[in-house]
């Protein structure tokens, strides 16, 4: 049928009066010069991003919240590639952020990244549900962007994880095409999209890389060759953090299993932990949970949206937007991972994985694995709206009331608007920070170990109202020695750096001075606007401002604990090789897909979309 996407099933077995209306051909709406079909989807994506981030976009300054730490100009360090021998938590995202901030101001880059996350998420879902009418695509896009998962991860500052979240629908859409298309040009285009989505996720965060790879592989189940190739590509693009994760470890401690309990999913609605995770919430940090989640009415609207999505997945299972069996497997697997740490019967299994399996620590923050479920549920809501529209037409009614269904996620979570209800605001680093950075650069401290005091992972400064991960390692030169343990109401989750543990356990200024001398630390950077703590004895003040104090310590008695050796150079070459290889592969696939394809003009998104 002309105008139907080729991957739709010609006969779904649904009576004609209840069938989803066939989508018109791409770019065809009323004849020559008509509005391209993709334009409303793009406008919707832009409107969602503007509604969420609007107050943050004009003006300057950096949005600092939780783990979201951008700085005006991030200096290059071996740590950005894992070359410092530490745990590669932000590898290689810190590498490309550092490279880009040499040409783009950090606050501009941050805004571009945040807008790209929301626009990319919405347009990706539009591509995935391209065979459905616009109202159905809009419902799917709104739910995928406007939900507690996005709200809570923005509030806690997990922008890198959200890059992987935004890549999920692109990877899913590419796998669906690869399952069903035999045309060579179409398959090459799909592979180009899949490789790009896997790379975006993997280069942003290890968790995002694993999550998108697992989603793509799960949706490919039933096509063994596709599963194998997807995993092979995933392995290749994730090498920048996989290699340091397995090759480093000289200064690393075993993960603290207490983290499973501390970071497990929590009930943030009246429906318990299971109901909270099913409705895309349940993050462990209670202080950033939206207030609406505790309201029975608003939480109930969220529950009804999910129930409608599940119904849509059932009644629309023959529409083949997602393969039914793999989508069910993906949803159940995602929910099981998200809930495992919170369920008494499954927690010992998670404990064992965290302690015994390399990389198992990725499972400690369980709720973040609910992201694939959010994707499947969003498709389900789109299918539900498409079916409801068909039912309405069959009874001679209009479909204007469907707008209420599309906007239901917004009604259930109004605080996501306008920068999380004003929570996200731009701040400027004090001039003091720039003065001390220039002093450190003049002293050429790039290769020196610098301990940051008071020893704390997160800080409350007097120039910003939000608690933020210490920005010093990204703002100043030097090999920063920082706290990596995290205090939570239930206790303290131990870090993974042996040096950080020794500094943490010093219970007097004398003992701190001795520890720093034995471990080769020659410099100390003291935050003066935070809670006071121990400072080394006999240090010389090199620079002092209202906010910061730079100290030169007595000559160390022991060697520096850092010995990068071969790592910095090898890891940098590895990152450049993966970047070059991925770019070349995507370019070749795109060029090879430009030959005439019989699928062109059958309703697929234009290649610029």
CB 241 within 8 A of CB 82: yes
**Residues 314 and 442 reside in one and the same domain:** no
Say if residue 9's pLDDT is above 70: no
Q: Are strands 479-481 and 449-453 parallel, antiparallel or unpaired?
A: parallel
CB 542 within 8 A of CB 550: yes
Q: Which residue has the higher pLDDT, 246 or 413?
A: 413
Q: For 4-13, 92-101, 491-500, which range has the lowest pLDDT when averaged over its residues?
A: 4-13
**Residues 399 and 472 reside in one and the same domain:** no
pLDDT of residue 594: 76
| Contacts for 392 with CB less than 8 Å, ≥ 6 apart | 398, 399, 401, 402
Q: How far apart are CA 116 and CA 175, in angstroms?
A: 22
Q: Domain range spanning residue 489?
A: 431-552
pLDDT band at 25 (very low <50, low <70, confident <90, very high): very low
By percentage, how much of the chain surpasses pLDDT 70? 90
**Residues 334 and 228 reside in one and the same domain:** yes
Q: How far apart are CA 236 and CA 191, in angstroms?
A: 14
Q: Are strands 426-427 and 486-488 parallel, antiparallel or unpaired?
A: unpaired
Residue 216, domain member (yes or no): yes
Residue 95, domain member (yes or no): yes
CB 148 within 8 A of CB 293: yes
pLDDT tens across 178-190, in order? Answer: 999 889 999 999 9
pLDDT of residue 3: 35
Q: For 49-63, 121-135, 336-350, 351-365, which range has the lowest pLDDT when averaged over its residues?
A: 351-365
Q: How far apart are CA 589 and CA 582, in angstroms?
A: 11
pLDDT tens across 285-295, in order? Answer: 999 999 999 99
Say if residue 601's pLDDT is above 80: no
Strand-pair partners of 486: 493
Q: How far apart are CA 226 and CA 442, in angstroms?
A: 54
Burial class of 390 by CB neighbour count within 10 A (0 to 12, 13 to 18, 19+): buried
By percentage, how much of the chain surpasses pLDDT 90? 78
Say if residue 583's pLDDT is above 90: yes
pLDDT of residue 506: 93
**Residues 35 and 158 reside in one and the same domain:** yes
Mean pLDDT, to the nearest integer, of 55-60? Answer: 91
| Contacts for 460 with CB less than 8 Å, ≥ 6 apart | 467, 530, 531
pLDDT tens across 191-245, in order? Answer: 999 999 999 999 999 999 999 999 999 999 999 999 999 999 999 999 999 999 9
Nearest of 384, 388, 387 to residue 376 by alpha carbon: 384
CB 467 within 8 A of CB 459: yes
pLDDT tens across 442-472, in order? Answer: 999 999 999 999 999 999 999 999 999 999 9
Say if residue 356's pLDDT is above 70: yes
Q: Are strands 426-427 and 62-63 parallel, antiparallel or unpaired?
A: antiparallel
**Residues 420 and 440 reside in one and the same domain:** no
* Highest mean pLDDT, choosing among 3-17, 32-46, 504-518, 592-606: 504-518
Mean pLDDT, to the nearest integer, of 404-418? Answer: 97
Q: For 97-101, 273-277, 518-522, which range has the lowest pLDDT when averaged over its residues?
A: 518-522
Residue 459, domain member (yes or no): yes
pLDDT of residue 130: 96
Residue 2, domain member (yes or no): no
pLDDT band at 500 (very low <50, low <70, confident <90, very high): very high
Say if residue 131's pLDDT is above 70: yes
**Residues 179 and 306 reside in one and the same domain:** yes
pLDDT of residue 24: 52
pLDDT band at 253 (very low <50, low <70, confident <90, very high): confident
Mean pLDDT, to the nearest integer, of 567-588? Answer: 96
Per-residue tokens: 198? 């896997």
Say if residue 563's pLDDT is above 80: no
Q: Which residue has the higher pLDDT, 311 or 247?
A: 311
Residue 597, domain member (yes or no): no
Strand-pair partners of 526: 453, 549
For the residues of 535-574, what is the DSSP string, one character each?
--TTPEEEEE-SSEEEEEPPPPSS--S---TTHHHHHHHH
**Residues 436 and 522 reside in one and the same domain:** yes
pLDDT tens across 35-50, in order? Answer: 788 899 999 999 999 9
Q: Which residue has the higher pLDDT, 257 or 372?
A: 372
pLDDT of residue 8: 44
Q: Are strands 523-527 and 449-453 parallel, antiparallel or unpaired?
A: parallel
Burial class of 285 by CB neighbour count within 10 A (0 to 12, 13 to 18, 19+): middle
- Residue keyed to tokens 């696939």: 589
**Residues 360 and 451 reside in one and the same domain:** no
Question: How high is the mean pLDDT of the chain?
Answer: 90
Mean pLDDT, to the nearest integer, of 390-418? Answer: 88
CB 497 within 8 A of CB 251: yes
Q: What's the total number of domains in the chain? A: 2
Residue 514 CA: distances (Å) to CA of 19, 425, 559 = 76, 41, 13
Residue 39, domain member (yes or no): yes
pLDDT of residue 12: 47
Helix/strand/coil (H/E/C) assignment for every residue in 246-277: HHCCCCECCCCCHHHHHCCCCCCCCCHHHHHH
**Residues 97 and 184 reside in one and the same domain:** yes
Say if residue 609's pLDDT is above 90: no
Q: How far apart are CA 125 and CA 151, in angstroms?
A: 18
Say if residue 600's pLDDT is above 60: no
Mean pLDDT, to the nearest integer, of 352-362? Answer: 88
Say if residue 322's pLDDT is above 60: yes
**Residues 235 and 189 reside in one and the same domain:** yes
Residue 565, domain member (yes or no): no
Say if residue 7's pLDDT is above 70: no
pLDDT of residue 255: 84
Q: How far apart are CA 303 and CA 558, in angstroms?
A: 59
CB 255 within 8 A of CB 362: no
**Burial 127-148, CB ≥16 within 10 A → b, else e:** bbbbbbbebbbbbbbbbbbbbb
Say if residue 407's pLDDT is above 70: yes
pLDDT band at 23 (very low <50, low <70, confident <90, very high): low
Q: How far apart are CA 489 and CA 491, in angstroms?
A: 6
End-to-end CA distance of the chain: 23
Say if residue 105's pLDDT is above 70: yes
pLDDT of residue 31: 53
Burial class of 308 by CB neighbour count within 10 A (0 to 12, 13 to 18, 19+): buried
**Residues 179 and 311 reside in one and the same domain:** yes
pLDDT band at 2 (very low <50, low <70, confident <90, very high): very low
pLDDT of residue 37: 84
Residue 564, domain member (yes or no): no
Say if residue 1's pLDDT is above 50: no
Say if residue 262's pLDDT is above 90: yes
**Residues 420 and 494 reside in one and the same domain:** no
Say if residue 588's pLDDT is above 80: yes
Q: How far apart are CA 53 and CA 107, in angstroms?
A: 14
């Amino acid at each position: 049928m002309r105008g139907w996407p080729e991957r739709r099933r010609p006969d779904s077995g649904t009576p004609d009066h209840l069938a989803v209306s066939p989508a018109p051909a791409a770019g065809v709406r009323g004849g020559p010069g008509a509005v391209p079909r993709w334009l409303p989807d793009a406008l919707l994506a832009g409107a969602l991003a503007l509604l969420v981030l609007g107050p943050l976009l004009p003006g300057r300054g950096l949005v600092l919240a939780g783990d979201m730490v951008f700085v005006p100009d991030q200096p290059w360090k071996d740590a950005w590639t894992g070359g410092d021998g530490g745990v590669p938590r932000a590898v290689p995202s810190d590498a490309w952020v550092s490279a880009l901030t040499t040409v783009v101001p950090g606050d501009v880059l941050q805004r571009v990244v945040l807008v790209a996350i929301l626009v990319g998420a919405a347009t990706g879902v539009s591509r995935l549900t391209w065979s459905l009418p616009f109202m159905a695509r809009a419902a799917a896009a709104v739910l995928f962007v406007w939900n507690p998962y996005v709200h809570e991860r923005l509030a806690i500052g997990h922008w890198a994880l959200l890059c992987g979240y935004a890549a999920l629908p692109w990877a899913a859409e590419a796998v669906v095409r690869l399952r069903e298309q035999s045309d060579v040009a179409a398959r090459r285009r799909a592979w180009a999209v899949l490789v790009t989505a896997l790379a975006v996720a993997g280069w942003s965060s290890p968790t995002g890389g694993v999550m998108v790879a697992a989603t793509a592989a799960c949706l490919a189940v039933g096509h063994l060759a596709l599963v194998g190739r997807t995993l092979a590509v995933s392995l290749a693009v994730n090498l920048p953090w996989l290699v340091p994760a397995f090759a480093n470890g000289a200064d690393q401690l075993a993960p603290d299993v207490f983290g499973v309990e501390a970071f497990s999913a929590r009930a943030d609605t009246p429906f318990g932990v299971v109901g909270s995770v099913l409705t895309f919430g349940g993050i462990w940090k209670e202080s950033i949970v939206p207030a609406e989640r505790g309201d029975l009415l608003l939480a109930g609207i969220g529950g009804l949206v999910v129930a409608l999505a599940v119904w849509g997945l059932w009644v629309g299972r023959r529409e083949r937007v997602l393969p039914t069996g793999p989508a069910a497997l993906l949803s159940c697997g995602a929910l099981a991972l998200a809930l495992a740490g919170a369920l008494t019967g499954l927690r010992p299994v998670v404990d064992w994985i965290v302690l015994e399996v390399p990389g198992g620590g990725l499972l400690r923050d369980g709720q973040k694995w609910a992201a694939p479920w959010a994707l499947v549920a969003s498709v389900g809501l789109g299918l539900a709206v498409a079916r409801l529209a068909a039912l309405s037409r069959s009874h001679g009614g209009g479909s204007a009331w469907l707008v209420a269904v599309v906007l239901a996620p917004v009604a259930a979570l109004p605080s996501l608007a306008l920068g999380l209800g004003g929570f996200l605001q731009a701040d400027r680093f004090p001039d003091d920070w720039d003065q001390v950075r220039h002093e450190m650069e003049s002293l050429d401290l790039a290769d020196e170990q610098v301990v940051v005091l008071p020893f704390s992972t997160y800080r409350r400064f007097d120039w910003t109202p939000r608690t933020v991960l210490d920005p010093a390692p990204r703002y100043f030169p030097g090999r920063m020695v920082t706290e990596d343990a995290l205090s939570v109401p239930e206790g303290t989750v131990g870090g993974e750096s042996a040096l950080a543990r020794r500094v943490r356990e010093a219970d007097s200024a004398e003992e701190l001075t001795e520890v720093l001398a034995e471990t080769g630390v020659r410099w100390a950077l003291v935050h003066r606007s935070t809670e006071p703590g121990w400072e080394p004895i006999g240090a010389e003040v090199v620079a002092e401002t209202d906010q910061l104090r730079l100290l030169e310590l007595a000559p160390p008695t022991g060697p520096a604990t850092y010995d990068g050796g071969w790592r910095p150079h090898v890891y940098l070459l590895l990152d450049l090789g993966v970047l070059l290889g991925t770019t070349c592969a995507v370019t070749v696939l795109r060029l090879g897909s430009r030959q005439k394809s019989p699928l062109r003009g059958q309703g697929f998104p234009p290649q610029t979309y």
